[in-house]
Amino acid sequence: MTAWTGDTERISWGTAARMDRTEDRLLGREREEHEVLGRLTDPDGPRLLLVRGERGVGRTTFVRAVGDRLREQGTAVLAMECAPADGERPLLLALRLVMALEEHRPAAERRWPAGQPLARALSAVDRRDGPAMDALLRAALAQSGPVAVLVDDAQHADAASLAVLRGIHFTRLAPAVRLVVSAALHAGGAKDGRHRAPDRAGSTPGPERTPGRDGPRDAVERLAGVEGAHSVVLSRLGPEDVTAMVAQRLRATPDATLALRIHECSRGVPGAVDAMLTGWERKGEIRITDGHAFVGTHAPLPVLPDDDRFVRALDALGEPCRTVAAALSVLWPFGLAALELIAAWTGLSPGVVGDGVRDLVGAGIVDGLPGPDGTTVRGWTFRLPLMAHTVAGRLRPLERGRLSAIAVEALWADADAADAGQPVRPAVPLLDEARARTYLADRIADAGTLVDRERAVTELTAAAERVRPGTEDWATLRWLRAAAQLIEHPAARAPALQRWARAAYVAGDYRTGRAVAQRLLRNPGHTLSPSDLQAIAQLLVGVTVNELDWRTLSRLTTAQWWDELPVPALAKVSGRALALCHLARWQEAWDLLSRTEAVWNTSPRCRATPRAFRAAAARAMGRPEAYLRELALPDAPALPVGQVYALAGAMFDEMIVGYDRKAAQTLLKSRGMTVEMLPPLSRFLWYHLTGRWDEALESGRRLLATDDVQLPASDGFLLPARTAAILLARGRTSSALRVLESVPGIQGAPPSCSLTATEAEVLGTLGDLDGAERALRRGLDRAHEHGQVQGTDELWAPLAEVTAGAGRTAEALTCLERLGRIAARSGSERTRLLHLLASARVLRSDSPDIARAHLRRAVDLARARGLPWETATTLAAAAEAGAGPATLLHEAYELFGTTGATLWRFHTRTAMRQAGLTVAGRKQATAENEHLLAVLIAEGLTNRQIATVLRLSEDAVANRLSRLFTRTGMRSRTEVVAAVLTGSL
């Protein structure tokens, strides 16, 4: 495998998404399409059909799809579109209809000489003669053969033509003539802004107006009342349809977070979904990993370009609507009070501002929020959150700052009045709908120096401290950055920078974290304590590790690098020791911390992490006693909460590395923590350990795609190793190899026993036993170079089995002897289990009784440990060797099923049949076999390779493939691959 590539390039498993726009078909419209086609083909159906829906809902695509279906059924279709300028040309639409119908009608059916109706229609347009055009259109409709006329975007049509259409008795038309009119529609009722809404001072917000009441939009809507007409309203898409649409566009399954975010910001409007995906695609924010699509947790929403349909609709309103919309994007949470604040910012009167808001509502850009009585509004919000973000994003920084300052001053004024016991009118009645916990802090961060600096810093810091890690990390980083930039007093700046650096680390902004940490270490000032600088030094090492910058990390292990910094010896020793640990230079770390104990063992806060580092180094070298004592966190009562959280989380990861679930659970319980409180990587490791592999795979894909990983010290490649192991157990052999080969890293990375063990397992499954042995020996050599013992049990055990299988018993016994020494020294149950299983495999031929005894002990130990995958493989090995009843296979079969290990479940089914056991659910077993075969084909394996993986003959594989083709109707491997990738098998 290729684990390292180059010196500086980071390789991500994910690839940038590319939008697929070849299939312009909307999902979630099946019901409406069935209804429309049924009515259009029913001889007694409506002659005029209106298709309405809000901007971006997909009217045009829907109408085109209907036209295509009608053409397939043999109906002639005439299609035309109205443009925004059409409304200024009276009778234009009527003229186009007459022209299209006249051209469509065969010459033999024409009652007038060719060209006469067209000449008369042009004359009627020139004279603006509505009655004449009415007669011509009626005649054209009456004389036409079977035809469907599609008119899209009729809201742009001229009012005179719409008036002509309203006067036609469509019920009198021939049954074969149908007119389909599509037009934009915006919600009515309390949300349309037509109800009176007094402003904060009690006055009305301007004269009552109803935008567009006599315009084309209302004229189109009145067509719905024409006799013989029927209306169909296209609603927004639900969450499932949005997910399907995203999958269609990206040709990948969106993860739950991406799908939810898109639905919330687009509100199910397909045009907004496409706009979001396009914006993210252009910036490379969407990553495709293993057929799944992800977007970084902190990827900002795209700001729509000027040519976007939603932006054009706003720009078309002109002023003051655009200015009012800009202010509303920031101030909308103030409800009715926003009118007064907007007026103050713009210099416009409240009445003009109110008119602007109502025009925005009429244009379908803003919605009114209904009050308690349902007849008044209590405020306004943008119909699409994506549009609100875009309008705010188009503001210049100074504009956004001044608007935010207005909001901050208003909120502070109310807070001061409340503190003084004065009656306060509710200034922010909508904050419950506007992320009340973050609104004020966001506005302070935008206002910057335009508000009181000292109060701003206090508020921002307090807001950041209220946030639990993992919930608002990016917002916290933004607030603390703003606070650090606002501080003027030198004594307060260093602590603020420290908070900022820590927030950057937690949020995954490692570049910022490194820059701020280096700034503090090079110029620490006089306000940071030695323990503060110790934490900053460790943070610098941490962000360097998470950036996989092994070259810089190597420099951080040298005394020379640290001696150039004006920081206490405590910080230098702690940072250097942590760097040595992350590079697996365990003996050097142990020696450094042992000879400098007088430097760091001065107080609980100062000694907590160095003592943990030294214990971890001893554990890695095969001496775990000190580390096991550290699990109790003896200094926890004297440590800050954040330090306890970090220590407990790191130790939890180390326990999971060693498959020690009980110790990990005990550690969390003793600290009052849960798995859900831990970082994403820790949760991934827990899901893998406990057999929740669907959750693990979803989490692992996301982390690999977005590079959002914080690495344990003892093994920095657990994520790709465990992910590849899951894929392999599910028959995803090539995918597993791709994960291993695209591991991000560069020269100088420390050894990874987990990565090597998984690589060997993949190679062995594919029949490359020599390659597996080379990988295992290479991994052991690297571990030996670093003096590392921890984790090598995962290499010695399979090496013993490989050499035993090759008939080299002496070598296998040597491996067993090394494995036994590790088990005895470490006391690890996991290592003892591996030793028992490997011993049984090696001794099976020469000492079968001893081998079976080892397997029986292994079964008891595995059951006591209670790890699904581990237990299942142990039970299968025991049953295969006759160390227990064959019914053990039933138990293993069920456990493999809980994890979704389809490849191992297949092998267990084979063993059950060979043992004469009945496999329950024959139909399900057949389906699983076929699906596994299809997956192996989709992985690009040849019949020979499939035979190796399934442990069958090539003829057996060919027969199974033939049966698969016969049952599914597919005729080629290409079709099988497509079915697997689309999930339609």
Identify which of 208, 238, 170 has the alpha carbon closest to the alpha carbon of residue 27.
238
Q: What is the DSSP letter of 167?
A: T
How far is 727 from 705, CA to CA, in rounded Å?
16
Q: Of the ranges 47-56, 571-580, 725-734, which one carries the lowest mean pLDDT score? A: 47-56
Question: Cβ distance 836 to 797 under 8 Å?
Answer: no
Average pLDDT, integer, range 770-792: 96
Rounded to 5°, angle at Cα 306 from 301 and 307? 110
DSSP run (H or E) holding 52: strand 48-53
- Please count the CA atoms within 13 angstroms of the CA of 863 that sit on its side-chain side: 12
Rounded to 5°, angle at Cα 504 from 500 and 510? 135
Q: pLDDT category, 843, cuts 50, 70, 90?
A: very high
The amino acid sitting at 33 is: E
Q: pLDDT category, 331, cuts 50, 70, 90?
A: very high
pLDDT digits 0-9 by tens, 682-739: 999 999 999 999 999 988 988 888 776 667 778 888 999 999 999 999 999 999 998 8
Q: Residue 375 is encoded by which pair of tokens?
A: 């007849």
pLDDT value of position 206: 37
The string of DSSP codes covering 233-261 is E--PPPHHHHHHHHHHHHTSEEPHHHHHH
pLDDT > 70: what percent of the chain?
A: 90
Alpha helices in 671-732 (DSSP H): 680-689, 693-706, 718-729
Residues near 517 by Cβ (< 8 Å), separated by ≥ 6? 501, 536, 537, 539, 540, 543
Question: Cβ distance 477 to 509 under 8 Å?
Answer: yes
Q: pLDDT category, 619, cuts 50, 70, 90?
A: very high
Question: What residues are paired with 53 via a beta bridge?
Answer: 184
Cis amide linkage into residue 117, ω under 30° from 0: no
pLDDT value of position 111: 53
Strand order in the sheet with 48-53: 76-81, 147-152, 177-184, 48-53, 229-233
Question: Cβ distance 281 to 19 under 8 Å?
Answer: yes
Average pLDDT, integer, range 229-246: 91
The amino acid sitting at 594 is: S
What does the mean pLDDT of the chain come to? Answer: 87
How far is 203 from 197, CA to CA, in rounded Å?
9
565: left (phi over 0), alpha (psi -120 to 50) or beta: beta
Q: Looking at the predicted structure, is the pLDDT value of residue 864 above 70?
A: yes
DSSP run (H or E) holding 328: helix 321-331
Task: Sort strands 48-53 and 253-254 into parallel, antiparallel or unpaired.
Answer: unpaired
Average pLDDT, integer, range 269-297: 89
Task: Sort strands 253-254 and 286-289 into parallel, antiparallel or unpaired.
Answer: unpaired
Rounded to 5°, angle at Cα 185 from 183 and 187? 175
pLDDT > 90: what percent of the chain?
A: 61
Cα-Cα-Cα-Cα torsion 261, 262, 266, 272, nearest 10 degrees, comes to 150
pLDDT value of position 3: 31
pLDDT value of position 744: 65
Identify which of 546, 544, 605 has the alpha carbon closest to the alpha carbon of residue 571.
605
738: left (phi over 0), alpha (psi -120 to 50) or beta: alpha
Q: Count CB atoms within 10 A of the CB of residue 632.
A: 11
Q: Looking at the predicted structure, is the pLDDT value of residue 44 above 50?
A: yes
pLDDT value of position 192: 40
pTM score, whole prediction:
0.84
Q: What are phi and psi of 377, to 5 degrees?
A: -105, 150
Q: Looking at the predicted structure, is the pLDDT value of residue 168 above 90?
A: no
CA distances to 53, 561, 810, 826, 866 from 813, in Å: 75, 46, 5, 20, 29
Q: Looking at the predicted structure, is the pLDDT value of residue 435 above 70?
A: no
pLDDT digits 0-9 by tens, 906-931: 999 999 999 999 888 888 899 999 99
Average pLDDT, integer, range 326-343: 92
Average pLDDT, integer, range 26-35: 85
Question: Cβ distance 339 to 355 under 8 Å?
Answer: no
Q: pLDDT category, 5, cuts 50, 70, 90?
A: very low
- Please count the CA atoms within 13 angstroms of the CA of 375 that sit on its side-chain side: 1
Q: Looking at the predicted structure, is the pLDDT value of residue 59 above 70?
A: yes
